[in-house]
């Protein structure tokens, strides 16, 4: 694993005793809609092919619990839809799932790498002007990739748990209910690199004792560069604008 990710996790661990916890417990529930342009390719190890994908509307849902107990991390669970399909004329002879597709064959491809993130993090800073969270994420991918043409389909399953470094930072705009924020999950190891990144604006539409409602919008990118994970190589990117809503109880 690269030093950048190791350093992020190490700093979070050292900072835990100094982290500022919420004075009361907080529950957050949110949903994102990502207008994603999908691009890239995949293949079995050493035989990667570029494909033409459709643009997608991808959804994510999350629950986050923050608490006042020192030393114990806060928890965020998030389900991420990550799929696309399309139709491609093969630019080379392509072998997948022990089946051979000749150059020029018109194939339908379907990628579903939807995943679940379990994030454990500490609040290093937490005030109206500046916030900083650091932690680690366990990303569980359980999906499949298929290529089909008339009369036959080749499918490869992919299942893996991948540890990632996690960081969240925000800056409040004085005199407004708006903040600029960024959220990142990242890891790079053994030739593979995975990242989930978003940057945007959050506006607190409702601010009451019972519930807060924030609306968010910005740019989001998910990138997977896989090197021989479950016998799959892939270089896939999903990026584009997103909108989001979050309730805080």
Q: What is the pLDDT of residues 65-113, one digit of tens each?
A: 999 998 999 999 999 999 999 999 999 999 999 999 999 999 999 999 9
**Minimum mean pLDDT range among 2-6, 52-56, 124-128:** 2-6
Q: What is the pLDDT of residue 47?
A: 84
Q: Residue 19: how many CB atoms within 10 A of its CB?
A: 20
Instruction: Tell me what pLDDT residue 25 has.
Output: 79
Domain segments of the chain: what residues?
3-248
pLDDT exceeds cutoff 80 at 200: yes
Select the more confidently predicted residue: 19 or 184: 184
pLDDT digits (tens, 9 = 90+) for 19-42: 444 556 799 999 999 999 999 999
Fold exhibited by the domain 3-248: Lipocalin (2.40.128)
pLDDT at position 23? 52
Residue 15 clears pLDDT 50, i.e. is over it: no
Q: How many residues does the chain have?
A: 249
What is the per-residue pLDDT for 24? Answer: 65
* Per-residue model confidence (pLDDT) at position 30: 98
DSSP assignment string, 36-53:
EEEEEEEEETTEEEEE--
- Report residue 13's pLDDT band, with 50, 70 and 90 as the boundaries: very low
C-alpha distances (whole Å) from 46 to each of 96, 113, 164, 232 are: 11, 20, 25, 9
Q: Supply 16's token pair.
A: 């835990």
What pLDDT is stored for residue 105 in this prediction?
96
208 phi and psi angles, rounded to 5 deg: -135, 170
Q: Is residue 238 predicted with pLDDT exceeding 90?
A: yes
Element (H, E) at 184: strand 178-189
* Whether pTM exceeds 0.85: yes
Q: Is the pLDDT of residue 223 over 90?
A: yes
Between 18 and 91, the more confident residue is 91
Placement of tokens 């100094």 in the chain: 18
């Amino acid at each position: 694993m690269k030093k950048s990710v190791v350093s992020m996790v190490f700093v979070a661990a050292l900072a835990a005793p100094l982290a500022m916890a919420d004075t009361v417990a907080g529950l957050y529930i949110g949903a994102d809609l990502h207008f994603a342009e999908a691009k890239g390719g995949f293949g079995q190890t050493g035989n990667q092919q570029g494909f033409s994908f459709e643009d997608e509307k991808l959804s994510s849902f999350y629950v986050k619990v923050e608490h006042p107990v020192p030393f114990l991390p806060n928890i965020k669970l998030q389900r991420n839809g990550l799929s696309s399909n399309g139709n491609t004329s093969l630019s080379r002879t392509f072998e997948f799932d022990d089946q051979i597709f000749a150059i020029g064959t018109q194939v339908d491809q379907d990628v579903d790498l939807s995943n679940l993130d379990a994030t454990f993090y500490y609040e290093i800073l937490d005030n109206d002007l500046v916030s900083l969270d650091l932690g680690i994420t366990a990303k569980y991918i359980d999906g499949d990739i298929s290529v089909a043409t008339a009369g036959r389909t080749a499918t490869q399953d992919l299942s893996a748990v991948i540890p990632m470094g996690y960081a969240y930072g925000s800056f409040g705009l004085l005199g407004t209910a708006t903040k600029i924020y960024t959220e990142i999950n990242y890891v790079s190891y053994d030739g593979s690199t995975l990242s989930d990144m978003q940057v945007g604006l959050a506006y607190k539409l409702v601010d009451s004792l019972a519930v807060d409602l924030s609306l968010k919008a910005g740019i989001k990118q998910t990138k997977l560069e896989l090197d021989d994970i479950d016998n799959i190589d892939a270089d896939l990117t999903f990026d584009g604008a997103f909108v989001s809503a979050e309730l805080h109880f």
